Each structure stands twice: as C-alpha cells, then as structure tokens.
C-alpha cells in the first residue's frame, strides 16, 4: 500500500489492516478483552489499532497511575470527528487517568496561518466548551500550547535530539517548509510527554487517542522519548548463551551508574526477601545477572534518573480510530461543510443533511429487498454505530435488517436524523452550562 500518513493533509485508508505491517501498529482486539468495561468504540472495532496499550490495561486493572493526552488544532468547527477523540479522553479519565488536552494554537498559527486571537477564540468557543459539555472533569488539564512554559521548554530540549533529515523522513518536510512548522511538530511531542514531568507525578504510562493520520507524531515522540532518557535498559546474551540485562548510560553524570548498581544490589526483590543476585559496574554501563524482574530494574533506573535531574520517559502509548465517512462519501472534513455535522450546528439543519446523506442502499427499492443493503458502506449507519446508539444488540438488529433487505434507507435516515437532532439539542444546552463553568478549568 505504501500509505503516506500526513497529519496536515488528506488521507484515505481503504484497508486499515495494512497499517499493521507498514507501521507496526498492533490490532486493538488483542488488548480489548483485558479491559473491565470497554468503550463502544473499542467493542465495535472503531478503535482498530494501538501501540503499547497493554501498559494502559495493566494500569487500569491494577489501579496504578496513568495519563491520557490528546489535542486539537483550533482551525475550524468542532465536529463529530473531534467528538470521537473527546469521548476517548473522557472515558480514560473516568477509568482513572490524569487527563490532558492541548489546544494546538502554535500548530494552527504555523500551518494554517491563523492569528493568535482567532486561535484562542476558536479554541475556547468550539473545542473547550464542547469538551466540557461532553463530560471532561475539572481535575484534568486544558491548556494552549502558546501559554504553556512546559511545552515550549520541552520542545526546545527535544529539538536537540531531532534533525531535519529525521523530520523530513517522518513528515515529508522539504526545503520550503517553514521553521515554525517544524517547531510545531516538536511542540506536539512536548504535549505528549508533558504528563510525565515531575510536577504531574513523574514517568507513567500515557495513552494518546488519535486518528491513523497522526501516527507520524507518535513515531517521532516515541523515538525522542528514548533519546531523552538518561539510561537505556535492554536484554542481552553473552557468548555462552547466558541472558542478562544491560543498563547503559554513557552520557549519565558522574556517579549515576554507580548509584544504579548500588541500588540494584542493595534492594530486595518484590514479593520475597531474596536480593537480585549481582549487578556489575563497568565504564558506561551496568550489567545485571540473574534477575528476571525487569519492572523492578526499570523502577530503580527511573528513580536514579530523576535524582540526577534526567528523564525516564515511558514510551507513550496510542490508540488509532477509523475515520468517519463524510455524509456525501469520502472522508469527513471541516473543509467540506456538507460532509460534517458540527456540534454547534442547528439541529434541524443537521437532520436535513442526514436525510440527503449517501447510504449503502441499492438503486431501487426492489433491489434493496432482493439483495439487501450494505451498511458497512453507509454513512448513516456509521452515525448510528459511532455516536447515536449505545446498545450493541439494537445496532446488530439494524445491521441484520439492512443486510436481509427488510429495512429501507428512509427508515434509517429518519431514525438517525431524529437521534442526531436530539443529541445536538442536549449537547448545545450542556454547552451553555459549560460556558458558565470555564473558570473551574483554570485556563
């Protein structure tokens, strides 16, 4: 397929499974069964892939700290595609995650040419108010990139570990790409790593819900997190086939590696009183023999790195969701008003759009009865599946009736139009209440 994933362009993906081979994304259904109460996006394979989500399932099941982070570029109307990400953030917040939402005004300024004032207006009026209305709690963190010293300082530090060749390979930047656009990419990485700073509790698993087109940001950030860490922990094997763990830190300050070795040798293993057999200190690395408790070693390495003012980032995890189809086919996009339903749209206008939408129905009524419809190619069925019907059995019945020809497109359009109208009325009332609560979120 040789797909080019462009965070700022138009990406059409016909076969999501090919992303597994091309980009190393893993199928989400492998980890979904580990969750106590998966979101409907997870149950219905709308979230189709992940990176390192097993770290998040472990944190949820064991009631351990983790964060969820994603962001929005304030360049247009907030619509159902954005709601997808907002719903994922809010679900993870309810599961115990410390939630972060960045308004990417540096990105909008550098990539879209938006003024700072317009970025702030759209960020608040469109994205933040809808996010709160959907259920984002005040104990989370909402911020603008341009107002965050953490993001600006971290982006500058990350820049020492990135070069033009790497950014060009990941994003396709050319000699004509402006420098601020490149900095905005590093700002995205800073957004993703910010939840692991000491002021927010230090290194921890962090999940980033994104569409597949945002994977370049994940690949860049995971690589930069590795480069920023003071130590590298890796399994090795000697010439006799004996396995051991090597902790390497050639750039670590004086005393840091010896501190690692001492803490390993002095600290008993978890769950019993037996000590880790042996940690040997060499120039530039510590080799650990006889230990099968990698998590304990990682804890020690993290604590020492923080003690010496270094980083010990946990590689950020990601979930990848399918794109919603536009109401007239193709990808849902803010640049095509008839393809989207905005969360601020007048409910009656949204209902009319649905009644004009492209479906998976046959050309004639008789063909529909004889051959059945194709719900998996239907934008109206997608609305029901993604946003409007929570009950899986109800959705399954609609799918079955469509396929066997007993359900007509008009029935689905009318039902979806009514449900969408009701949702928008309720959401817009909640938006007015959210506007009155903005001060609770310390923007």
Tens of pLDDT, residues 263-309: 988 876 554 544 456 889 999 999 998 876 777 888 899 999 999 99
Q: Looking at residue 58, what is its pLDDT?
A: 95
Q: How many CA atoms lie within 13 A of 141 on its CB side?
A: 21
Q: Looking at residue 16, what is its pLDDT?
A: 60
Residue 124 CB: number of other CB atoms within 10 A? 17
Q: Alpha carbon of 427 to those of 82, 105, 130, 133, 415: distances in Å?
A: 14, 25, 8, 7, 18
Measured between alpha carbons, how far apart are the two ends of the chain, in Å? 43
DSSP per residue, 246-294: EEE-TTSPTTHHHHHHHHHHHSBPTTSSPBP-EEEEETTEEEEES---H
The CATH number of 18-229+315-321 is 3.40.50.620
Q: Looking at residue 22, what is its pLDDT?
A: 64
pLDDT classification of 153: cutoffs 50, 70, 90: very high
Q: What residue has token string 């449900």?
A: 419
Rounded Cα gap, residues 353 and 347, in angstroms:
10
pLDDT classification of 8: cutoffs 50, 70, 90: very low
- Asked if the model's pLDDT at residue 164 lies above 50, the reply is yes
DSSP per residue, 89-142: HHHHHHTT-EEEEEE-HHHIIIII---HHHHHHHIIIIIIHHHHHHT--TTSEE
Rounded Cα gap, residues 90 and 88, in angstroms:
5
pLDDT digits (tens, 9 = 90+) for 363-405: 888 888 888 899 988 999 999 999 999 999 999 999 999 999 9
What are the residue boundaries of the structural domains of the chain, listed by start? Answer: 18-229+315-321, 232-307, 337-441
Rounded Cα gap, residues 166 and 162, in angstroms:
7
- Asked if the model's pLDDT at residue 91 lies above 80, the reply is yes
Exposed (0-12), middle (13-18) or buried (19+): which is 132, by Cβ within 10 Å? buried
- The phi and psi torsions of 320 (rounded to 5 degrees) equal -120, 125
Q: Express the helix, strand and coil content of the chain in percent, nearest 5 each.
A: 50, 15, 35
Write down the pTM of the prediction. Answer: 0.89
Choose among 409, 378, 381: nearest CA to 395: 381
Rounded Cα gap, residues 7 and 307, in angstroms:
37
Choose among 373, 331, 371, 355: nearest CA to 421: 355
pLDDT digits (tens, 9 = 90+) for 250-265: 778 989 999 999 998 8
Q: Looking at residue 276, what is its pLDDT?
A: 53
List all residues 6 or more positions away from 283 whose beta carbon is below 8 Å from its beta carbon: none
The CATH number of 337-441 is 1.10.240.10
DSSP per residue, 25-62: PEETHHHHTTSSS--HHHHTTSEEEEESTHHHHHHHHT
pLDDT classification of 3: cutoffs 50, 70, 90: very low
Q: What residue has token string 């944190």?
A: 59
């Amino acid at each position: 397929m040789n797909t080019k994933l462009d965070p700022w362009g138009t990406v059409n993906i016909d076969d999501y499974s090919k992303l597994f081979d091309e980009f190393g994304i893993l199928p989400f259904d492998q980890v979904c069964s580990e969750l106590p109460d998966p979101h409907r996006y997870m149950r219905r394979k709308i979230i189709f892939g992940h990176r390192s989500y097993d770290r998040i399932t472990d944190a949820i099941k064991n009631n351990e700290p983790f964060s969820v982070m994603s962001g929005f570029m304030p360049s247009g109307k907030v619509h159902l595609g954005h709601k997808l990400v907002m719903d994922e953030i809010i679900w993870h917040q309810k599961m115990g995650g410390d939630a972060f939402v960045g308004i990417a005004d540096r990105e909008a300024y550098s990539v879209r040419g938006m003024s700072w004032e317009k970025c702030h207006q759209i960020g608040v009026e469109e994205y933040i108010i809808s996010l709160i209305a959907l259920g984002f709690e005040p104990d989370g963190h909402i911020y603008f990139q341009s107002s965050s010293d953490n993001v600006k300082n971290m982006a500058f530090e990350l820049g020492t570990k990135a070069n033009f060749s790497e950014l060009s390979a990941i994003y396709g930047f050319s000699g004509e790409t402006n420098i601020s656009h490149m900095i905005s990419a590093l700002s995205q990485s800073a957004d993703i790593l910010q939840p692991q700073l000491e002021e927010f509790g230090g290194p921890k698993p962090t999940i980033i819900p994104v569409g597949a087109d945002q994977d370049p940001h994940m690949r860049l950030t995971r690589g930069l997190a590795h480069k920023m860490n003071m130590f590298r922990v890796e399994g090795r094997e000697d010439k006799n086939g004996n396995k051991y763990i090597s902790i390497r830190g050639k750039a670590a300050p004086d005393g840091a590696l010896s501190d690692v070795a001492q803490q390993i040798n002095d600290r008993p293993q978890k769950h019993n009183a037996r000590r880790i057999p042996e940690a040997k200190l060499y120039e530039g690395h510590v080799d650990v023999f006889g230990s099968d408790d990698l998590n304990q070693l990682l804890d020690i390495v993290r604590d020492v790195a923080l003690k010496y003012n270094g980083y010990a980032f946990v590689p950020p995890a990601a979930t990848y969701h399918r794109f919603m189809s536009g109401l007239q086919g193709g990808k849902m996009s803010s640049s095509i008003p008839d393809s989207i339903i905005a969360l601020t749209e007048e409910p009656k206008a949204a209902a009319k759009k649905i009644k004009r939408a492209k479906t998976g129905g046959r050309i004639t009524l008789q063909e529909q009865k004889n051959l059945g419809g194709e719900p998996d190619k239907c934008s109206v069925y997608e609305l029901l599946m993604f946003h409007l019907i929570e009950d899986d059995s109800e959705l399954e019945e609609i799918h079955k009736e469509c396929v066997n020809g007993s359900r007509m497109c008009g029935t689905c359009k009318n039902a979806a139009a009514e449900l969408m109208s009701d949702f928008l009325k309720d959401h817009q009332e909640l938006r007015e209440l959210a506007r009155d609560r903005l001060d609770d979120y310390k923007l």
